Structures are given as C-alpha cells and as structure tokens.
Structure 1
Amino acid sequence: MSYKIEALPNAGTLIGEGPHWDIETQSLYFVDIDVGRLLRYDYKENKTYSAVLEGEQFASFIIPVEGESGKFVVGAGRRVVVVAWDGVAPKAKVVRVVREVQPDFPMNRVNDGKADPRGRLVAGTMHIDITLSKRVGELYSFEKGKPAALIKSDIGISNGLTWDEKAKKFYYIDSLDYNVKAYDYDFDTGVASNPKVIFSPGTYLPDGMTIDADGNIYVCTFTGATVFKVKPSTGEVLLEIKMPCKQITSVAFGGPNLDILYVTTSKLNDQPPPAGDTYKVTGLGVKGLPMTKVQL
C-alpha cells in the first residue's frame, strides 16, 4: 500500500484536535485546544484560516450546526457553546451556552466530541492536568430539547468516538484504558450498552478515531506516530499509517470524494518539528462516511 502524507499549509497547532469535514463548504474544521483557536482548511483554495475564540481558554472540538450557516458547536472548558464564525475572520464569538457539565469539578474540561448519525452531540470530559490521571471524566449525549444524558462515568481521558450504523455500533476510546471499546448503540434513543474491548494499541496511548465506508476504524496514537487501521469485528490491524511526528491526535475523512484522511497532531512538551502540523493522507484506496452536523 503506497500512501502519501503531506502537510496542509499554515495549519500548525500546539494540540490540533477535533477534525470535522464539512461537505457543504468543502472545508476541514479543527481546533487548537489549549490556546482556544478554531481553524478551517479550505480545500478549493488550499488555504488555512484561523480564529481566536474570544474569552475562552480552551476549544476542544468544532462541529457545524444543522441549518445555521456560520454557527458551530464548540467544547469550551466545561461548557458546550454555540459560536459564530464566518470561517475567515481572525476572531470568533460565543453566542450562547448550550450546556455546562460537572459543576463540582472545576478542574475538568470537555475533550473530544462528535455528532452521532442522528445529529446528537456526544462528548466527554477529562481532568485538565492529564499527568494526574484522575478518573473524574464523564461521557454525555446531548439531544435537542433534553437534558444531558450520562453514558458513562469513571473516565480518565474521554477521547475518540465514531459510529457504524450498519453494525449498530458505537466505538469509543478512554485513552487511559489503552483500548477501543465497541458498544451496542440504539440510534433511535442514543443509548449505548454492552461495552466490549475490540482493540488495544499495546503501550501506545490511543486518542482520536474515525471510520471508513467499509466499517474499518482508524485509531490515532498520541505516543506512537501511528494511525492503526483496524477491523472491529476481529481486532485485526489491516494497516499501520506511519506519521512524521509522534503525537497523533485525531483523524477525519474528507475531500470532494471523502477519500483523503486528514490527521491532526500535537507538539505538546516541546516535540520537535514537524510536530503540530496537520496532514492529508492520500492513496489509501478507501472512502469515509459523511460527518453529521449537530441538531440543536
């Protein structure tokens, strides 16, 4: 398998995360968590725009809101907020708070989040200082017009999530468990049940994740410079995508044909260049699934 890895222009981050491919704008939206930055890579222009999220220390994911152009759901501290951004301006603004979670845990923040195929937001939390390894995180489902529903507690670092509607599965990563779990998922109710470990990357810390149209998952390793392509039904590693830096944070399929794998990375703790760059991987011979916007 000969794939090609190229860095996107001006898409360097401290901790790149939360990539979301938006078909409508042919853009990859992603965040730079610890500096509260939103980024948009425009495919047609081959150009990256970025904005500071005013008044916020963190921005942990960015997902377009269904039916509202220029509005996004963003994880900011312990809050899920709606942000207005035209994708070009150097500043973005919080316009309202959707939910605040874990008021008794001021040192927690929201981490990875995604919309399930029905438009529910699913997002989890973690302690701000990962070196303390406190299992005080929780995973929630946010459905339009309903209070936040708790999916799971006792979480170290809530991270990668993706769904397979055909298999009726939800795949989830708590990084401190060093594995990927598959849940049975009821797409009508958003209820996840019967967790089962399906893959472990050994001593590597797993991070973000996505899925292709064949139902195979792509698991990033924060300590391993690798994205593993895994068959969930058997746990078999089908491919190891070797990246040019160590801290691989998340992945999303995009491009006009959904056949480009976009990869975010981190340069936390003074990792040498090209750490922190955002990449496109081409030539994988597979397509991803369209990502869902959040329904609010």
Structure 2
Amino acid sequence: MSSFEADPEVGLSAPAVMELLEGAPVALGGPRGFAVTRTLPHRQRRMVGAWCFLDAYGPQDLAGSDGMRVGPHPHTGLQTVTWLIAGEVLHRDSLGHVQEIRPGQLNLMTAGRGISHSEQTPRDHTPVLEGVQLWVALPHAVRDMPPEFAHHDDLPVVTRPGLAATVIMGTFAGATSPARCHTPLVGADLTLAPSAEATVPLDPAFEYAVLALDGAPVIDGATLKPGPLLYLGSGRAEVDVTTGSPSRLLLLGGEPFDERLVMWWNFVARDHDEIVQMRADWADRTPRFGEVRGYDGPPLPAPPMPISRLVPRGRVR
C-alpha cells in the first residue's frame, strides 16, 4: 500500500484521507485461468462500506481464447455484483436462471444461506471483454436469507456538469437504483468528458473509494490510472474531479460495516467453524448450494482448509 499522507489511519474520518491500494494479479480457476486484478480485500483495508471484494479485468482481446470460463462454484453471506464495460458474460445459477449480461446492465445475485453459479463468455460474443466483479457483505440479520437473483437493464442515469453517472446500487445525486440493498451503500459508474471539471456529491456518513476504468482523472489533486483503488475515507460532502482525456470511474461507498467477518474462498461467514461446514456442504454436494445445469464442465473444487484457524477481522486489517 502507498499513501498520500504520512499516517492514513490518523483522522480516518477526515476529508484529507487518501490511500492508494495497489491491486494483486489473480487467475480465476487456477494458474491458467482468467486474469483479474484484485483490490479488495486488500492487506490493509478489507472493505469500503459493505463492499468487500473487487476484481477488475480487461480490456482483454478474446481472439483465439475461450474468454471467461468459471465453472460452478458456491457462495454464502454476500451479494455478487457483475458490471461490464465491454463484452458479454453468461450467468447460470442453481435457482435455474440463465442470463446474458451486457454493458450498462446489472446482474445481482444474493447468496444468503447458499447458492452456486457459473460465469462464462457466451459462444456468440464481441471481441473484447472488460468489467468488474464485486461482492457486498450481507449483515448478520439477513446473511442466512434464501438466495435470490435479479437482472436490471434499466438503471437511472444522472447528469451533472462534466459527468454522467449510472447508478448501479443505492442512491447517488438523488437517483436510486432498483437493485435491492441490505445496508446503506452506493455504487455508480461515472463517465467524464474531456477537459471536465466536475464536482461529485458524496454523503459525509459514507466512506468512499474510486477505481479508474479508463483515462487518468485527477481526484483532489491525485492522478488515478486504471489498476489501483483510491480510498477517500469518510466525512466528505463532495470531491473534485478533473480530466484531460475522456475518463471513466467506478465510485463505491457505504456506511462503515462494523461486523467482523471471515472471508475464505467464495464464502463470507462469522467464524472458522462456519467456513468448515460450508466447505463440507459444497464438497459433499448437499442440497444447500443446489446444482447449476447447462454448464459444459465440472464444478470448481474447494481448496484445502488452512492449517491455522481463520480469525474474524474488521474492515481494516
């Protein structure tokens, strides 16, 4: 982690907080799998609001490759949020949904007590794939709810001087996404014109982070390029963004999530023993996670459990 101030944990709620969280390369499905850059959870900051996981991928030229191909795998205690910049992804889940997602559309899967799904590039597809995969941690009161799936292809768009914002989750600048949230949060895709000088409205009760999807926008004096996640802290009513070339940002925010979590593989739980049971239920193919039908490949096996017990952790490691 690098930081724009000497001690980013001092005055955590002050507007001056800015932390640059460098991403880690990860191959989904094994060493030869689909390459992504993971910025949440980070070794120093695990969450932004209830947002607990962020993978960014592409732009990837799909010529001569199978593109994304992630076999059936389980989830618990979270919502998956799929957002594309370019290309298509075909979703199948154990509730029986088969849904192709395209740019500007939201796939929202709520795992609750347990669900499984697969993700892959469809047979007929455009040449480039780019997008983000996010998780939202479910609070204790609903973490064992029945699983759900929703697809939203008509999301609100807010225009302000210098920018247009698609509201993916929560409320931004007075516009609210139809997606179901279980904690106060926001996710928005901001498109900025060249040579823009825009003021982005924020909620001082939320903590925020931004990811550059395209261009090199300047945020409060810091130039951000695609790759790292810029954490902005809380206590801000707005943030200034300027651009030279056209730019695109993913804005994430939410009320600080104070529950301590255990995150391991595809599971979000509250203690080690819950993870052990979740892993066993997947390995034993119990009814908990159901069955994904139509994917032409095997389900992903769960990795071995670590030797030491998993410890619940807060949003800052």
Q: TM-score, normalised by structure 1?
A: 0.35
Q: Which has the higher contact order (CA 8 A, sep 6+)?
A: 2
From the CA coordinates, give the structure whose radius of gyration is larger.
Answer: 2
Q: TM-score, normalised by structure 2?
A: 0.33
Larger strand fraction of residues = 1
